[in-house]
Amino acid sequence: MGGGVGDGEVLFETKRAKGRIWYKLYFCSVLAGLCMIWVYRAIQIPGGGGGGRWWAWIGIFGAELWFSLYWILTQAVRWNPTYRYTFKERLSQRYQDKLPNVDIFVCTADPVIEPPIMVINTVLSVMAYQYPVEKLSVYLSDDSGSELTFYALLEASRFAKAWLPFCKKFKVEPRSPAAYFEETLASPRERAEAVDWLATKSLYEEMENRIDVAAKLGRVPADQHKQHKGFSQWNSAITPRDHQAIVEILIDGRDEKPLDDEEFVLPTLVYMAREKRPFHHHNFKAGAMNSLLRVSSEISNGAIILNVDCDMYSNNSETERCTINITKNDIYGNSLRLMTEVDFHGLDGVGGPLYTGSGCFHRRECLMGKEYDANSKAQLELIRKNLEANTSILEEKAKHLITCSYESNTEWGKEMGLKYGSPVEDVITGLSIQCRGWKSIYFNPSRIGFLGVAPVTLAQTLVQHKRWSEGDLQIFFSKYCPFIFGHGKIKLGLKMAYTMYCLWSPCSLPTLYHVVILPMALRHGISLYPNINSIWFMPFAYVIAATKLYSLSESLWAGYTLKGWWNEQRMWLFKRLASYPFAVVDTFLKLLGVNKSAFVVTAKVADKEVSKRYEQEIMEFGSHSLMFTILATIAMLNVICLVSGVKRMVWEGEFGSLDSLLVQLVVCGTVVLVNIPVYEAMFLRSGGGRIPNSITFTSIALAILAYAVPMRQTGSASLVFPWHQTEKTHKALLE
């Protein structure tokens, strides 16, 4: 058990999970089962003359080896779960007026898919933290350089004068006004609060209305232009990809004047848009974060930095991640519960969780690339620069730090700040911070710290996972490969855990193999598993049953419903079939220098119909994505092979008994059950969100082709054929 640093009582307590003996028994027994499977596969390889069966056997052996080794990696985050409990009162007692300055960075990139009203709700929620206001500064980075977003932030700076005192007076939670007023639809019971509640609510609604009108018009009303000098920065030539640097300090915390309604000072609030030019690569969110680091160092220079995405409002005003719009059974598995409830606690036990973008706190020094030095005392107070300079001088100084040329020939993006070149800038930066000796810890309060917006369609979810898994795989093939880069710097468990994430996307290959070859073999009566009466059947049955039962209990423990677990299994499969293969292909194209990295910003709004279906947990297909063609083809292939296999076995009495094909039947049957929403979307549903007919026809044709491929007679050549299909599909998607 350990705790916080320094004198007196500890600031937090660390507890390790108990009862691990059962887990370790489970681990050893599954490992033994896997070893038996390998032995079986190795000694029972069919003779080469058997043609198709030989190839199929070797392939499945490879796939099982991969899954076994990957399973071992996933145990790293289950070995030693660690939990942290904080003592907040002690913190304020001990430090009182010596609390560090905190700079909060909010990033936004596009006023259409990230509506300004959502962005400022996030801003307002972090401005209202229960933390000494004069020590808090909030920065909004707007990568689109949008006048609309600037206008919304200006409105927010005015509304904050009412919102912050209201939050403090009534200890409001959550502190995002939109979320709060939605939660308290009826006015609060106590009368004193009711008056303020009504007044604040109507202020909010008026502001929301003004912002919505401007958003619909696509421009800021002329009368507003006169009200702030900042608008002079915009002219008709400005586009999201082409604009100069803009820094506007909307509230300067050093001023005596901007008192809010209850005579409180407001936190510093800054709007920033770094310079963007069409021929200058802007490095996505990492570039925005590095600009924020420099601009904030001139203005407030806080020692502690919190970064949140523009959709992730603070849900808990005392702690300084999670998703808001998750339906009961989490149809797309976007709550990431297993990550937040299992993985991250496990990571905390082996050296600390990853940096996952939104909702993470860092010391400025560690983001700036400094090595951890055990001898120098943690610096919680950084010197504040430019104390005398007035606001406009500060703004000018800051603008020079975020021009396109500022970073050339510097270490920014390499050894300083967030790293460039990766679609998961957060993970790779976090890894290098840990390798420099810094530790991270995971705090998961009972009232969730942040709530963000999850994708509400299948396509968006798959695209997001493609970006993540692609970024992670690139790390594996770069000099940051956890086992090489982390050698001698981080614990084995942490290296394994990073590798587990890095190797998400290659898991697509063995998975594809299973769901294509097993049904085909079943249809031809080719057995790839031991007979039920054989002793070798035991390890297969045990490993499958034990790991599934474990996964079920883990998910229920993490807060999933039974149906939620089932949905999670489906998404597990869908990601491996339709998202990860593209990540693998794109990673190789990038390694070959054919492709450049991209960052597809996740949409945060959906039209009414789509949202309605999401709330009813009806899967959204709708678009002509190649991802869906793959899913539909595999669903079709499995169902026709299952039907034909069962028919020939049961009615026509071919292939001898069922005993030797039982495992394949179970696997194939499970794939069919998991795919029920796909069949529904192809054949049963009407209205929006169903699978387009063209995809249905293509997938049936492809499935019949694969079905018709002979596997027994001539062997090898025929088995290669279905893979050509998938390759073609990949190419088509890339075009």
Ligand X SMILES: O=c1ccn([C@@H]2O[C@H](COP(=O)(O)OP(=O)(O)O[C@H]3O[C@H](CO)[C@@H](O)[C@H](O)[C@H]3O)[C@@H](O)[C@H]2O)c(=O)[nH]1
Active site members = 143, 426
310 makes contact with ligand X (CB under 6 A): yes
Q: Give the whole-angstrom CA distance, residue 662 versus residue 704.
A: 23
Which of residues 398 and 691 has its CB atom nearest to ligand X in the complex?
A: 398
668 makes contact with ligand X (CB under 6 A): no
Residue the block writes with tokens 């909004």: 140
**In the range 596-625, which residues lie near Mn ion by CB under 5 A?**
602
Torsions phi, psi of 314, nearest 5?
Answer: -75, 130
Give the three-class secondary structure for 80. coil
Q: Which does 275 bind (CB under 5 to 8 A by kind): Mn ion, ligand X, none?
A: none
330 is in an annotated binding site: no
Which of residues 59 and 287 has its CB atom nearest to ligand X in the complex?
A: 287
Cβ burial of 651 (10 Å; 0-12, 13-18, 19+) is exposed
Q: Which does 107 bind (CB under 5 to 8 A by kind): Mn ion, ligand X, none?
A: ligand X
147, two tokens: 């006048």
340 makes contact with ligand X (CB under 6 A): no
Q: How many secondary structure helices (H) and strands (E) does the chain include?
A: 27, 10
**In the range 431-460, which residues lie near Mn ion by CB under 5 A?**
none
Q: Which does 109 bind (CB under 5 to 8 A by kind): Mn ion, ligand X, none?
A: ligand X
295 makes contact with ligand X (CB under 6 A): no
**In the range 436-495, which residues lie near ligand X by CB under 6 A?**
464, 467-468, 471
Cis peptide before 174 (omega within 30 of 0): yes
**In the range 592-651, which residues lie near ligand X by CB under 6 A?**
599, 601-602
Q: Which does 284 bind (CB under 5 to 8 A by kind): ligand X, Mn ion, none?
A: ligand X
Q: Give the whole-angstrom CA distance, residue 709 versus residue 54.
A: 16
285 is in an annotated binding site: yes
Q: Which of 101, 108, 440, 499 binds ligand X (CB under 6 A)?
A: 108
Which of residues 323 and 675 has its CB atom nearest to ligand X in the complex?
A: 323
196 is in an annotated binding site: no
Give min distance, CB of 396 to ligand X, in A: 23
161 is in an annotated binding site: no
Q: Give the whole-angstrom CA distance, residue 132 versus residue 572.
A: 44
CB atoms closer than 10 angstroms to residue 288: 25
Which of residues 108 and 316 has its CB atom nearest to ligand X in the complex?
A: 108
Q: Output the residue with the shortest Cβ distance to ligand X.
A: 357
Q: Give the whole-angstrom CA distance, residue 615 versus residue 3.
A: 43
Give min distance, CB of 452 to Mn ion, in A: 6
Q: Which does 468 bind (CB under 5 to 8 A by kind): ligand X, Mn ion, none?
A: ligand X
Give min distance, CB of 105 to Mn ion, in A: 14
Give min distance, CB of 148 to ligand X, in A: 14
Give min distance, CB of 110 to Mn ion, in A: 12
x-marked contacts with ligand X along 254-293 as a string, rule CB under 6 A: ------------------------------xx--x-----
Q: Give the whole-angstrom CA distance, residue 313 versus residue 582.
A: 31
**Per DSSP, what are the bridge partners of residue 313?**
451
Rounded (to 5) percent helix, strand, coil in the chain: 55, 10, 35
Which of residues 143 and 620 has its CB atom nearest to ligand X in the complex?
A: 143
Stretch binding ligand X (CB under 6 A), from 78-86, 422-430, 543-551, 721-729: 422-430
Torsions phi, psi of 693, nearest 5?
Answer: -55, -40
**600 contacts 109 by C-beta, under 8 angstroms:** no
Alpha helix segments (H runs only) across 481-597 = 482-485, 492-502, 508-523, 537-557, 562-574, 580-591
Give min distance, CB of 242 to ligand X, in A: 14
Q: Which does 398 bind (CB under 5 to 8 A by kind): Mn ion, ligand X, none?
A: none
Which of residues 569 and 602 has its CB atom nearest to Mn ion in the complex?
A: 602
Q: Which long-range contacts (CB under 8 A, 24 or more apart) does 673-679 make?
A: 674/566, 674/569, 674/570, 674/573, 675/570, 675/631, 675/634, 675/635, 675/638, 675/639, 677/570, 677/619, 678/619, 678/631, 678/632, 678/635, 679/635, 679/639
Q: Give the whole-angstrom CA distance, residue 348 versus residue 351.
A: 6
**Residue 661: CB partners within 8 Å, gap ≥ 6?**
522, 525, 527, 529, 645, 649, 655
Torsions phi, psi of 361, nearest 5?
Answer: -100, 140
Q: Residue count at the site for ligand X (CB under 6 A)?
A: 23
CB-hemisphere CA count at 13 Å for 501? 27
**Sequential DSSP letters for 182-247:** HHT-SPPSSHHHHHHHHHHHHHHHHHHHHHHHHHHHTS--HHHHTT-GGGGG--TT-BTTBB--EE
Q: Which of 147, 248, 309, 586 binds ligand X (CB under 6 A)?
A: 309
501 makes contact with ligand X (CB under 6 A): no
517 makes contact with ligand X (CB under 6 A): no
Give min distance, CB of 448 to ligand X, in A: 15
Residues near ligand X (CB under 6 A) are 107-109, 114, 141, 143, 284-285, 288, 309-310, 357-358, 423-424, 426, 464, 467-468, 471, 599, 601-602
Residues near Mn ion (CB under 5 A) are 309, 602
| Binding site, annotated residues for UDP-alpha-D-glucose | 114, 143
